[in-house]
Amino acid sequence: MVSYSKLALFLIPVVVLFLLDVNSAFAQESSKQYMSARIEIWALFYRLMVVAFVIGAVVMGTITWVVWRFRESHPKNKGSITPSRSEGAHH
């Protein structure tokens, strides 16, 4: 059976060579393609930020409405929250 140390000694150089090959593949891009990719990434970032702010505004608006609607001084909430004495206790 192969020990784990021998397996690690074999896999580490293979992984390093693979990563170096991947890096060289990305390094061969032209500067025009690189700038285009950067522009697309920032455009995506800004679009997602707009979506996040819109969702945040909707959530905050909903929270504000709930707090305003169910506040203690609201006319519909003026009634007593304790049961009246005329109902009697049910034991």
Share of the chain above pLDDT 90, in %: 23
- Provide the number of structural domains found in the chain: 1
For residue 18, is it within any domain?
no
Question: What pLDDT, in 10s, does the model give residues 21-32?
Answer: 655 555 555 667
- Confirm whether 9 is domain-assigned: no
**Is 65 contained in some domain?**
yes
Distance (Å, whole) CA 1 – CA 55: 57
For residues 91 and 82, give the distance between their C-alpha atoms in angstroms, rounded to a whole number. Answer: 17
- Tell me whether residue 10 is in a domain: no
- Are 67 and 74 spatial neighbours (Cβ–Cβ below 8 Å)? no
Q: Using one digit for the tens of pLDDT, what is the confidence trace for 11-23? A: 777 776 666 665 5
Q: Which residue has the tokens 């920032």?
A: 42
Q: For residue 8, is it within any domain?
A: no
Q: Is 44 inside a domain boundary?
A: yes
For residue 37, the enclosing domain spans 30-72
Q: What share of the chain is helix, strand, coil (3-state, %, to 5)?
A: 75, 0, 25
